[in-house]
Amino acid sequence: MADKRLRILVAKPGLDGHDRGAKIIARALRDGGFEVIYTGLHQTPEMIAEAAVQEDVDAIGLSILSGAHMTLFPEVMRLLKEKGLDDVAIFGGGIIPDEDSAKLKAAGVKEIFTPGASTEDIVKWVHENVHPRD
Amino acid sequence: MTTKQEWLEQTYSRGKERPTRFTTLSDMPVDPLYTPEDVKNNFARDIGYPGEYPYTRGVYESMYRGRLWTMRQFAGFGLAEETNARFHFLLAQGQDGLSTAFDMPTLMGYDADSERAMGEVGREGVSVSSAQDMARLFDRIPLDKVSTSMTVNCSASVLLAAYLVVAERQGVPWEAVSGTIQNDMLKEFIAQKEWICPPAPSLRIVTDMVEFCAKKAPRFHAVSISGYHIREAGSTAVQELAFTIADGLCYVQDAVARGMNVDDFAPRLSFFWDLHNDFLEEIAKLRAGRRMWARFMKERFGAKNPRSLMLRTHAQTAGVSLTAQQPMNNVVRVAIQALAGVLGGVQSLHTNSMDETLALPTEQAVMVALRTQQIIAEETGVTNTIDPFGGSYAIEALTDKMEAEALEYIRKIDEMGGMLKAIDRGYPQLEIAEAAFNYQRQLEQGIKTVVGVNKYSVPEEIPIETLKINHELEERQIQRVRKLKRERNSVAVKEALKRVAEACRSGENLMDPICEAVRRDATVGEISDIYRAEFGVYKDPGWV
């Protein structure tokens, strides 16, 4: 595990341009020793799933501040499954009410970070909970 | 007489300093004391009187003694009818201007029935796909009586056209319609990231709108040059000041290059600042901005009309400063930020609601936010005298310092060939990303404090009731758009869209053809698709 650097896709689905969080997380994960691929904004679930295949990632962090999390998370997960990538860890962050967060976790999202989560906590969580896929 | 340096060495040094970093929120060092030695400026040249060049103390001669600022709360969600009801509620509460929040599909130029709109219709704002939706949004609101602000950028040309078509249908001439459309595309590439086509054609559309409004809707502000989103994306206060003024210079340059007389359009340019937590820094920023703009307009562009020199501004308290933790604290933050705005001399103000980090605000939270402005206006007495901080050694020194640092940024941007070129190089984008990351690290290291988050936190359940959006709304809006597309005269729409495409190619002003297309029920998505086809689609370079 120590010899392979984990590859993390930081993805920004949806139409909104709130990328401050995604960019900070991308930088923090990079500083934390991971290989980070940042998709840029306005990604569709298809584009994200495709990037996950192309980049052979171990985890995907979705940053969603538009309120569309209940549509976007399940759609990304459905597409990943279709492509045989259901072992990629999915986590996310954004303005996500507790009630929705619980539903998403029950549906297989590994963790949801809400405003106020520190980059340190997120980096630590990835170290502890994301494992190489092979 | 003791000098400041002597006082620092002989007296101040005997005292104790808390082990903290004495810098502004933007990490600009602040002296323990300011004295006349720090204020190098000349009263007549640099400060002067309100309503007089360089407008440091305010753009109007009587400021709030003449007229209070416009209290303008941003609202929008769901279908047009629901936002219309919120508008009527706000007007009944004593608000005097409207401000429309559109949903993401509308903001990005997609109709509700587009695949790209899935899950986002009516969520963060109101869904408007056509002039018919716009008519529902302003039902029973006379457009010659109420001024409206519309926060929309890359699809702004279509929304402005729809608004003007609604005015026509109300029997209101365009000359009588007043309001503001944000339409600041440069800051989209820098910070907010809502775009359709690349920067150069985006700028052309903005300038078309500036030209069109100057001629045909002269009471409408065709662009609101916005620092708000730059700051919210994580910039420092100086970066907000610098990049916003540089954006403004780029718009003026483009319109002048097209042959327009600066005094024919500059009086209708307006600004939009963020009001963050650092009280003195914000007041200084607002004052510095006015002085810088006046000087650039006079010296660089030779503007003669005093109204061309005046930086008139809307401001909004900093959404990014609100916390999900202990959300009642947000009421206090908003009050202090709003007070800085008023002491800084803004013309219009939105105060955020305490629950905005969680979801769209509830009616009760919106009311507290509006009452905050009313308390500042009518209870605190700060409106009795103009620019009460003027002449304060600290404020004048900070104003000068922020101006000098912002001018240095603008010099660099000028050297790159202006803001369009700077954006292509990712310069402002990377400066902001760097500042945002530094601030986040300072928070995590406890160098900067956010009460209730990295200090004084308590275990808590978030208790505030949040507004829920009904999912059936999306389906209803999709059906409505599909029905419109089935029932309108499709030949007439096609013809009108073709004319828009031709104007894209010929360089003719786009607004008349767009107004005609919208009159014939062409949609936001369809006209945006013409932009996509004619100008290409901009892809986020993802500067990290």
Facing residue for A66 by CB, picked from B110, B124, B440: B124
Range in B122-126, B418-422, B469-473 the model is least confident about: B469-473
CA distance B230 to B423: 13
pLDDT confidence of residue B258: 96
Of B116, B188, B232, the CB nearest to A15: B116
Is a pLDDT exceeding 70 seen at residue B497? Answer: yes
pLDDT digits (tens, 9 = 90+) for A73-86: 999 999 999 999 99
A103 token code pair? 């539903």
pLDDT at site B469: 58
Mean pLDDT (chain B) is: 95
Mutation pick from B77, B153, B193, B453 vs chain A, by most beta carbons of A within 10 Å, is B193
**pLDDT at B462 (0 to 100):** 65
Chain A residue with CA closest to B187: the answer is A17
What is this structure's pTM?
Answer: 0.93
Chain B residues with CB under 8 Å of A24 CB are: 234, 436-437, 440
* Span B299-318, average pLDDT: 98
User: What's residue B465's pLDDT?
Assistant: 46
C-alpha to C-alpha distance for A122 and A118, rounded to whole angstroms: 6
Q: B90 or B279: whose pLDDT is higher?
A: B279
Question: Which among B174, B180, B82 has a CA at the least distance from the CA of B133?
Answer: B82
Contact across the interface for B540 and A97, Cβ inside 8 Å: no
Give residue B427's pLDDT. 98
Q: What is the side-by-side strand order in the sheet with B313-317?
A: B70-71, B348-350, B313-317, B270-275, B224-226
- pLDDT for A10: 97
The per-residue pLDDT for B543 is 87
Cis amide prior to B198 (ω within 30 degrees)? no
Cβ distance of A115 and B323 shorter than 8 Å: yes
Using DSSP, state whether B278 is helix, strand or coil: coil
- Give the amino acid at B207: T
**Banded pLDDT at B119 (limits 50, 70, 90):** confident
Determine what percent of chain B is predicted with pLDDT higher than 90: 90
B464: pLDDT confidence band, cut at 50, 70 and 90?
very low
Residues on A contacting B at a C-beta cutoff of 8 Å: 14-20, 23-24, 26-28, 30, 38-42, 44, 66-68, 70-72, 95, 97-98, 114-116, 118-120
CB contact (8 A) between residue B436 and residue A23: yes
- Flag if B104 and A119 touch (Cβ within 8 Å): no
- Residue reference for tokens 């994200």: A48
All residues of chain A having their beta carbon less than 8 Å from the beta carbon of residue B441 are: 119
Q: Give B324→chain A minimum CA distance, Å.
A: 7
Q: Can you state the angle between helices B427-444 and B393-416, rounded to 10 degrees?
A: 140
> What pLDDT sits at residue B40?
87
- Please determine, for residue B361, whether its predicted confidence score (pLDDT) is greater than 90: no
Residue B297 has pLDDT above 60, yes or no: yes
Residue A13 has pLDDT above 50, yes or no: yes
B9-31 average pLDDT score: 96
Segment B43-68 mean pLDDT: 97
Walk me through the domains of chain B, giving residue ranges and CATH numbers: 36-444 (3.20.20.240)
Q: Percent of chain B having pLDDT more than 70?
A: 98
Least confident of A28-37, A94-103, B270-279, B426-435: A94-103
In this prediction, residue B43 has a pLDDT band, given cuts at 50, 70 and 90, of very high
pLDDT of residue B152: 98
Q: What is the mean pLDDT of residues B6-28?
A: 96
**What's the average model confidence in pLDDT over B460-486?**
80
SS3 B362: coil
What is the DSSP code string of B90-107? HHHTT--EEEEEBPHHHH
Beta strand pairing status for A89-94 and B224-226?
unpaired
Q: Report the alpha-carbon distance of residue A57 to residue B463 in Å, rounded.
A: 38
Q: Hey, of A31, A39, A42, which one would you mutate to test binding to chain B, going by the most B CBs within 10 A of its CB?
A: A42
Q: What is the pLDDT of residue A1?
A: 46
DSSP string across B419-484? HHHHHHTTHHHHHHHHHHHHHHHHHHTTSS--BTTTBS----------PPPPTHHHHHHHHHHHHH
pLDDT average, residue stretch B327-350: 97
Per-domain boundaries in chain A: 7-123
CB-CB neighbors (< 8 A) of B541 in chain A: 40
Q: Residue A71 in contact with residue A103, Cβ under 8 Å?
A: no
Question: Which one has a higher pLDDT value, B340 or B116?
Answer: B340
- Chains A and B: how many Cβ contacts under 8 Å? 97
Phi, psi dihedrals of residue B314, rounded to the nearest 5°: -95, 155
On the question of pLDDT at B73 being above 60, the answer is yes
Judged against a pLDDT cut of 70, whether residue B179 lies above it is answered with yes
Q: Which residues are bridge partners to B78 per DSSP?
A: B126
Is A124 in a helix, a strand, or coil? helix
Q: Residue B194: which of A17, A26, A39 has the nearest Cβ? A: A17
Question: B191-211, pLDDT tens digit by residue?
Answer: 999 999 999 999 999 999 999
Q: What is the pLDDT averaged over residues B244-261?
A: 98
Q: Which fold has domain A7-123?
A: Rossmann fold (3.40.50)
Residue B31 has pLDDT above 80, yes or no: yes
Q: How far is CA B79 from CA B112, B259, B396, in A?
A: 11, 41, 47
Mean pLDDT of B383-406: 98
Q: What is the pLDDT of residue B491?
A: 98
Does residue B345 come out as left (phi exceeding 0), alpha (psi in the -120 to 50 range) or beta?
Answer: left
| A116, pLDDT greater than 90 | no
Complex ipTM, two decimals? Answer: 0.84
Residue B324: predicted pLDDT: 85
**A3 pLDDT higher than 60:** no
Sequence-distant (≥ 6) Cβ neighbours of residue B13 within 8 angstroms: none
Does residue B468 register a pLDDT over 70?
no
Q: Mean per-residue pLDDT for B122-146?
A: 95
Q: Does the beta-carbon distance from A66 to B539 stay under 8 Å?
A: no
SS in 3 state form for B401-421?
Answer: HHHHHHHHHHHHHHHHCCHHH
| Terminal Cα-to-Cα distance of chain B (whole angstroms) | 52
